[in-house]
Amino acid sequence: MSQSQPSRSVARRVFATEFNDITYTFKESDEERAPVYGLLPTGERANRVFIAGTLTETQDVGGDSEYWQGRVVDPTDTFFVYAGQYQPEAAAMLREAEPPVYVSIVGKPRTYETDDGEMNVSIRPESISIIDDDTRDRWVVETALQTVERAEKADEHPTEYATMADEQYAITPSAYSESALDVLEEMEESHD
């Protein structure tokens, strides 16, 4: 007998504008350790994301213990990344990084409510890697493609998550799809 199938969550590819619009999270089971999913406005659940961009700034925002904040900019907006004592490798990475530098990050979306009642979302990193511009460019194109695909699917064959997104969010999937196409067109022009 071997072990049963792994059930690791996939790392969604999502631009910062869409990621930062995640305000709704949910669990699919009552178990305490059940995965928490962020609902992507393009109608998909995300327990994990893979993002890339330029790390522009790092800052220790912690009190007694270190708590590192990183800002990672993609063609659409800025991701906020936080790593503390429970993410020692990622925290060390942010402490030692010399911005600006290209990074890719595997991590989990975490939402929190601000004092004025607004929902904010950030990334809790599992790993942060310094990458070259080819890897970063690949991510941008891949993410644009997958954003458009998600939006198309939400439109043509809506899943329960697409329905959920329709109920929870004011911005439609097509808006993210259009913004993804703009990113591709800009890239194409800059390479000409």
Partner 1 sequence: MEDLTQQAKSVHAQFDEHLDLDVDAIESRLETLVSKYRIPPEEAQRSLIENYREEADLNHDDLDPRSNNHVDVATIDEDEQWIDVRVKVVELWEPRSDAIAQVGLLGDESGRIKFVSFATSDLAELEEDSVYELSNVVTDEYEGRYSIKLNRTTSITEIEEDIEPGNDHDDQTGALVDIQRGSGLVKRCPTDDCTRVLQNGRCSEHGEVDGEFDLRIKGVLDDGTTVQEVIFDCEQTEELTDITLDRAKEIARDKLDTGAVLERMEPDIVGRYFEVTGPKFGRYLLVDEFEQLGALSADEALEQLEVTA
Tell me which residues touch partner 1 (CB under 8 A): 1-6, 8-13, 48, 50, 52, 103-106, 126-131, 133-135, 137-142, 144-146, 148, 152, 181, 184-185, 187-188, 191
Return the sign of the alpha-carbon dihedral for residues 125, 129, 131, 134. Answer: negative
Q: Which is nearer to partner 1, 51 or 121 (CB)?
A: 51
Place of tokens 């022009």: 189
Are 46 and 10 in contact by the 8 Å Cβ rule? The answer is: no
Are 168 and 145 in contact by the 8 Å Cβ rule? The answer is: no
- Tokens for 57, please give them: 């700034």
Nearest distance from C-beta of residue 22 to partner 1, angstroms: 16
Nearest distance from C-beta of residue 52 to partner 1, angstroms: 8
Q: Is 56 left (phi over 0), alpha (psi -120 to 50) or beta?
A: alpha
Nearest distance from C-beta of residue 131 to partner 1, angstroms: 6
Q: Which is nearer to partner 1, 78 or 107 (CB)?
A: 107
Nearest distance from C-beta of residue 39 to partner 1, angstroms: 17
Nearest distance from C-beta of residue 136 to partner 1, angstroms: 8
Q: Which is nearer to partner 1, 53 or 169 (CB)?
A: 53
- Tokens for 145, please give them: 């493609």
Task: List the one residue out of 176, 137, 142, 173 whose CA is nearest residue 156.
Answer: 173
Q: Which is nearer to partner 1, 22 or 52 (CB)?
A: 52
